[in-house]
Structure 1
Amino acid sequence: MKEKTKLFKRDFTLVVMGQIISLFGNAILRFALPLYLLRETGSSTLFGIVTACSFAPMVVLSMIGGVLADRVNKRNIMVGLDFSTAILILIFYLSLGKLPTIPLFITMLMLLYGISGTYQPSVQASIPLLVSSEKLMAGNAVINQVNTLSGLLGPVIGGIMFGMWGIYPILVLSIICFAFSAIMEVFIHIPYEKQKREKSIFAVVRSDLKESYHFVKTEKPIFFSVVFLISIFNLVLSAVMIVGTPILITQVLGMSDTMYGFTQGALALGGLCGGILTAAIAEKLKLKNSYILLLVCAASVAFMGIPLMLNVPAIISYWIITLMSFTAMGASTLFVVQIYTMVQTQTPPQLVGKIMAALISIAMCGQPIGQAIYGILFDMFKSQTWIVLIVAAIASFLITLYSKKLFCQLDDSNE
């Protein structure tokens, strides 16, 4: 009985280890490429537009990834995409300095985020197949912790490497990470039953998404409200942190790349602590109280703006922004794990990959729009960046308070 309910069985452990290595390579790359672009151009508007373009493929390919996760061997998806990423980074390495910088970066970031969007549904859909139902929330929390642990180490190490040697060693390290992760994932066994396919892949995608939509519309219409809320929250709050943090630290406060790396590490550490806390108190968490976590995120962004408004010394502003980044990410992780677990437990196994991918991708729709808008706003309010943060925080407070009733309904549907 003990073995049956054990969380870290062989295959789940291999998935976790592969995720650690792969996501570390991803984290160090996602840190270095946008920072390199921001340093080279110095334009907040361009930075916001490029990051927005980068996120767009993830939104579309996450849904396709969900369909693939339910119809193709999940291990093969992970292996193939990790090997493909290693090859793409090698091509980028050889092209950097030889091709126009802006188009090259947009193309590379779009490919990286697109692959990530296709990849993650396979990981999410494999968790219910590798852990017992009573360990499902703990399993989700572990995967989330892996993501944040890699995000913790990636920016810190990336910041030091970028400051000392530039971008090329980071590209080499990322290639090694993705190749090694792919080799390790070859040995994972994920239960898989091949489904017959008599239609083209596009017809299959359309059919599967239609089936998922029908299920949500007839059985779980509240999922639409949840995904709309998260999309708006991503547009208003998540986007301001993604675009604003590097601009505030490297341009407004004039801090080094290493210091920015520590802030990104603090973000990941907050997520790691949030994941650990989720696993520890999983049984005590109530969906009806989830709105409080979003209020904490909004408050964190407001506190980032206050020292800038009061013109406190740069180093104090830096540490306040770093602490608030940690706090916001911790609360966000607690929220996300609860929502993921709720969707997984209320969805038929054959639809989990598609519905998880669809909900995640639709929820992310607001983020690229927000990133492009905030890039322009940070350029417009260069001398008063605190205005952007405070307005975003106030809007997020109002959205969260308005959604309190929704979380009560979610809690009732989960019982």
Structure 2
Amino acid sequence: MKLLNRNFTLILIGQIISLFGNATLRFALPLYLLDRTGSSSLFGIVLACSFIPMVILSPVGGLLADRVNKRNIMVFLDFLTAFLTGLFLLLNGSLSPQALVLIVMMLLSGIQSLYQPSVQASIPFLQEKGNLMTANAIINQVSALANLIGPVLGGIVYEAFGVTQVVLISGICFLLSAVMELFIRIPVNKLPENGSILSIVKGDFAESIHYIHREKPVIQKVIIIVALFNLVLTSMVIVGIPVIIKIHLALSGQLYGYAQGISAAGGLAGGILVGVLANRLRAEKVWKLLLAAAATLLPMALCLLFDAPPMVSYLVIVCCYFLMMVLATMFSVQMLSFVQSEVPGSLIGKVISFVMAMSMCSQPLGQALYGLLFDWAAPQWIILGSMAAAAVIVIASRKAFSHINNTAEENLG
């Protein structure tokens, strides 16, 4: 089976369109809230709340991916998201911006948590095992490309016309993606349904825990490491970058859009590097990527500490953000490919969704705390504290990654 077969290509095109709309919407709504309120605390709390449905519903996404036609899930959810953007346009002005953005962001988060496991679980059915890392790298490149273009164009449209036009463009993207996905054909590996949806979810959740704990404890260790890293560093970046650019540096939403686009370019570059270096990357060294990602925070903190001119600080932040995303994407693709290669096809949807949920479960807490911290303390000290905590976590986790390599070698043998 060739890498760029018909169905995989259709998934790529659908992903480009859908993720462009998603990236534009996720950029515009929090920026709209920050512009209207100017509150870091409220911004962090809304972002935290928007992550909760993603964590809770990710196991359901895995359940659906293992039991329902994955193509149908993607099509339905894209149509649903298009409908949601229409509701936002109808209700904007009738509800407070805080309530409206919170509701829409939570719904978008829940939809995305159901959508993404279907995309990821479909890849092993459309690719040979030897192509998995390259295919995942391509999917990440598509995501990064959409995340690059979305915020840049979203920032331009937002500054020129406002949030309404941004939401309208996003809705059109979701409609086009849903139509494109109608033509995808993915082999169905439907499992028997025994009991209610709730009992099935609980059973699948328990099965995932048992499988990871008993059969693949190394995956359990990686989940804990990534969850802690997300708590202390990823949450800080998600809340801190927009707050620093918009409030502390007093720069425009358009410049913030450029920053988000450039960070997405870093994700694209990281995906390309993984694809090029797929046969040379070694899992026992992957912890160094996380350590280097933490180190990229140091120049950001120094610029703010020594009160560099706003545009100088902005350029340093953008460059470091780019490099951080290169490193984080390389780590993510390697870990996802490892999980896909270790888990049987009948379990892959539920296990991937479980891994995603547990890895992200710390982010709502982290985002809420960092929102409060950015209203209370100077950003440079928050950044330095985040960097130090992340470095300690990564250095302490080196042995876990050597176990990943040993497991991979056993499977190859």
The alignment's TM-score, normalised by the length of structure 1, stands at 0.97
- 1:342 and 2:338 matched: yes
Which residue of 1 is the match for residue 23 of structure 2? 27
Identity, in percent, stands at 47
Q: Which aligned segments of 4 or more residues in structure 1 are displaced greater than 4 angstroms?
A: none
- 1:131 and 2:127 matched: yes
- 1:322 and 2:318 matched: yes
Unmatched segments (≥5 aa) in structure 2 = none
Query: What pairs with 1:16-95 in structure 2 (closer than 5 Å)?
Result: 16-95=12-91
- 1:165 and 2:161 matched: yes
- Which of the residues 386, 397, 401 maps onto 1:403? 397
Deviation string 1:328-381 (CA, Å, 9 cap, x unpaired) is 000000000000000010101100110000001110011111100000000001
Q: Aligned partners of 2:128, 2:39: CA distance in 1, in Å?
A: 49
Q: Aligned partners of 2:258, 2:208: CA distance in 1, in Å?
A: 41
Deviation string 1:24-46 (CA, Å, 9 cap, x unpaired) is 00000000000000000000000
Once the 2 structures are TM-superposed, how far is the Cα of residue 193 of structure 1 from its aligned partner?
3.4
Unmatched segments (≥5 aa) in structure 1 = none
Given residue 22 of structure 1, which amino acid in structure 2 is its aligned partner? Answer: S
- Which of the residues 387, 405, 409 maps onto 2:381? 387
- 1:108 and 2:104 matched: yes
Q: Aligned partners of 2:79, 2:205: CA distance in 1, in Å?
A: 27
Deviation string 1:33-76 (CA, Å, 9 cap, x unpaired) is 00000000000000000000001100111111011100110000
Which residue of 2 is the match for residue 246 of structure 1? 242
**Corresponding residue pairs, total:** 409
Q: Aligned partners of 1:311, 1:100: CA distance in 2, in Å?
A: 36
Q: Aligned partners of 2:306, 2:100: CA distance in 1, in Å?
A: 40
Contact 2:66–2:189 under 8 Å retained in 1:
no
Q: Aligned partners of 1:363, 1:303: CA distance in 2, in Å?
A: 27
Once the 2 structures are TM-superposed, how far is the Cα of residue 409 of structure 1 from its aligned partner?
1.1
Contact 2:137–2:271 under 8 Å retained in 1:
yes
SS, match of residue 185 in structure 2:
coil
Contact 2:65–2:349 under 8 Å retained in 1:
yes
Query: What pairs with 1:140-219 in structure 2 (closer than 5 Å)?
Result: 140-219=136-215
- 1:233 and 2:208 matched: no
- Which of the residues 406, 409, 412 maps onto 2:406? 412
Once the 2 structures are TM-superposed, how far is the Cα of residue 195 of structure 1 from its aligned partner?
2.7
Which residue of 2 is the match for residue 369 of structure 1? 365
SS, match of residue 279 in structure 2:
helix
Flag the 1:295–1:198 CA change in 2: closer, same or farther, 3 A. closer
Deviation string 1:139-196 (CA, Å, 9 cap, x unpaired) is 0001111111100000000010111101011111011000110011011000003333
The alignment's TM-score, normalised by the length of structure 2, stands at 0.98
Given residue 384 of structure 2, which amino acid in structure 1 is its aligned partner? Answer: I
Once the 2 structures are TM-superposed, how far is the Cα of residue 207 of structure 1 from its aligned partner?
1.5
Once the 2 structures are TM-superposed, how far is the Cα of residue 132 of structure 1 from its aligned partner?
1.1
Given residue 189 of structure 1, which amino acid in structure 2 is its aligned partner? Answer: R
Which residue of 1 is the match for residue 5 of structure 2? 9
SS, match of residue 189 in structure 2:
coil
Given residue 393 of structure 2, which amino acid in structure 1 is its aligned partner? Answer: I
